[in-house]
Amino acid sequence: KKLVPGVAGTTYPIERLGIAPVVMADGPSAVRLSVKREGDDKKYFATNVPCETLLASSWNNEATYKIGKILGEECREYGIDVLLAPGVNMMRNPLCGRNYEYFSEDPLLAGKMSAAMVNGVESEGVGACPKHFAVNNQELNRLHNDARVSQRALREIYLKNFEITVKESQPWMIMTSYNNINGRHASEDRGLLETILRDEWGFEGIVVTDWGGGYDAAKQIWAGNDLIEPGRYAEVKRIMEAVKSGELAESDLDRCVKRVLELVVKSIRHKGYKFSNNPNLEENGKLTREIEPEGFVLLKNEQNALPFTKEQKVALFGTGAYNLILSNSVSVRSLHGRTVNLDEGLRNAGVSLNEALDKRYIKHMQNEKKRLAPFWKLRRWCTYDLRPVELRDIRNHTARAAEESDIAVITIGRNSSESFDRHVERDFNLNMHEQAMISAVSRDFHSRGKKVVVVLNICGPVEIASWRDKVDAILVAWLPGQEAGNSIADALLGKVSPSGHLSTSFPMKYADVPSQNFPHNEVEWCAESGKNLSRVFDQKQPIYYDVPNIDYTNYEEDIYVGYRDYATRKVEVAYPFGYGLTYSQFEMSDMSVKECKDGYKVSCTVKRAGNFPAKQVVQLYSSELAPEVDRPTIELRGYKKTPLLQAGESTVVEIVIKKEDLMTYNEKASAWKLTKGEYDLLLGFDSQTLPLKHRITITKEILK
């Protein structure tokens, strides 16, 4: 509170020894600190950047690196030494409450994006702290849930993302998760923290608990968890007693002390950096606006419904357009000084809105804000957020709006937060009022030959198959950050082409999701029973009531997460992993595969055939023809985003992979294994459309 109000915490300073405190702030949607300070009229804002799902959907490492630089610069200028970000966990299930701050259902994409953000943050002289290590894939009972997962799935899916992050960025810190993994708390697992993280991967930084995580401080120190936050005297006492009794070796404690001191001497506070409390918010906002459309995903665009022109009058439907979700409500509530809703963004771009409909929504939103104000005032950050309801009399407005307007834009919003998971009926599926709005708007506009566009301002996938045929275009804008209204308007009007591709699959229905034992719709059960609430901090021992999927979760789908399952089982999806359209068309040709040191250099030519300047994403997958162990039909091995291509322009894309990238984890040998045989390398623009193929032969088995 004295150093930087509103941050997560610090290490303990020892002034007589010249040991400065290390200040840590939450992320990744923004640098989290207090906007107001006692006795100070100045407001301390931070840039609200796009959520990590949007960044991963950009498939653009450079863009994510730039967002990391924004976060790093603002940390530095506010006197913050370490940003507690990025979130790296896998999207095992689309209902996980924190998926918005995770990157992908694929570990390679998540790991590459995480490394890019870490490198961006740390290029500004401050540290990054990827989290939550590991297997933090549900929020319900997250402090005590035991994630029971095979060693193969652990290595290939749930640790691979962290491995890539460590090897390609070497972050200053890593945060352990609250949950247990196969019966052992993550922060008390020496095999995880020392054998795997440090000895195998070469991690050189410190390991910190999540705030309040862990059961036994002495076991945490022994395991290699160097820093316990926020820190309590009882933990200090427990460590001291363990050392005195010989239960904990003094050398184990010394090891952790040494690592923490190494962090201290790297910190800007120790180095005496004179921070300004004045980061470049204006420039950071401009860059954020440029980057946001990189991750917008155009799912549908029939008969070139998009882009439309500013001369067309727009009928703007949906409360979400007047109350865009910029980010999750926990990390960045009131942290930014700028909020641009879609109505404002369209007006800024010179678009005329249907006046009568606009007035109706403005009045409705005023009433909704009054109705919800008491809840918002009393709401704890870890409880479900209420959103304004849709107009109940929408059918009274659609016909007139269709007569007076040229095009309809409907906005659907979804938010989620730490400490609770989403619901199937309440969150994943559209409610009856949203379905009624889409049906009524589409009927009246289409009967007059006019187009209907849907903007999805969402934290994660929603059910889309039941209504997509009713509309002409669908744009996924995710949680875009503070420039949301302006950047969405830029995309709708064609000032820039959306160029994102899905970093997570959109299933046809929730019943198709491979992880069906996820605790969906369980929040009310826990609240009513009083058992296993997510915010239990004061238990000395884990509480087990033996409730499946709450006390423990068996990862029954094993390695078959997301598209790995859909592709292998041939399950139809609404939109596959890696899918995304642009306002132009592209052709891919001339695939070439050349063997190089320890791997292969894969290249192809991408040519823009359409009339609109745009970027495209090339994706490389592998498929083993006769695997000796069960494995997915396809697995992502690399990707590359093209530069902006003009009409008729082409570019050569190169992707390099190592032979070890084709390995599977052999549980009997406790090692990675590359088997002899034939493999197909496949290139395409999404995981279902892979037109180019080249077969390679591995002649020598490798065990690593």
Could you give the residue numbers annotated as active site?
210
CA distances from 196 to 6, 238, 695 (A): 34, 26, 33
Beta bridge partners of 315: 408
Give first-to-last CA distance, the chain, whole Å: 48
What's phi and psi for 156, nearest 5 deg?
A: -80, -30
User: Which residues are CB-contacts of 565 (< 8 A; sequence separation ≥ 6)?
Assistant: 514, 557, 571, 632
C-alpha dihedral sign at 72, 78, 81, 85? negative
454-466 CB burial, b ≥16 within 10 A, e <16: bbbbbbbbbbbee
Residue 321 near residue 409, CB atoms below 8 Å: yes
CA distance readout (Å), 93 to 79, 139, 526, 534: 37, 11, 20, 18
| Number of residues in the chain | 704
Name the 3-class secondary structure at 370: helix
Q: What is the DSSP string of 170-237?
A: --SEEEBPSSEETTEEGGG-HIIIIIIIIIIT---SEEE--TT--S-HHHHHHHT--B-SS--HHHHH
Tokens of 408: 């309809």
Which uninterrupted H or E stretch holds 56?
helix 52-58
Nearest to 54 by CA among 98, 108, 103: 103
- Inter-CA distances, 382 with 139, 261, 551, 580, Å: 10, 34, 19, 33
Q: Following DSSP, what letter does each residue of 551-608 receive, concatenated?
A: TEEE-TTTT--THHHHHHHT--EEE-TT--B-SS-EEEEEEEEEEETTEEEEEEEEEE
Spatial separation of the C-alpha atoms in residues 461 and 499, rounded to whole Å: 18
Q: Which of 47, 36, 104, 105 is nearest to 75 (CA)?
A: 47
Contact 655, 684 (CB under 8 A): no
Q: What DSSP element (H or E) covers 345?
A: helix 342-348
Q: Which of 552, 578, 509, 547 is nearest to 94 (CA)?
A: 509
Q: Give the chain's largest Cα–Cα span.
A: 83
Nearest Cα to 693, choosing from 680, 674, 675, 704? 680
List the one residue out of 684, 681, 664 whose CA is nearest residue 673: 664
Interhelix angle 107-122/160-169, nearest 10 degrees: 30
Amino acid letter for position 469: D
Alpha helices in 267-341 (DSSP H): 281-291
SS3 at position 158: helix
380, 384, 388, 389 alpha-carbon torsion, rounded to 10°: -150
Write b or e for each residue in 2-11: b if 16 or more Cβ atoms lie within 10 A of its Cβ, otherwise e. eebebbbbbb
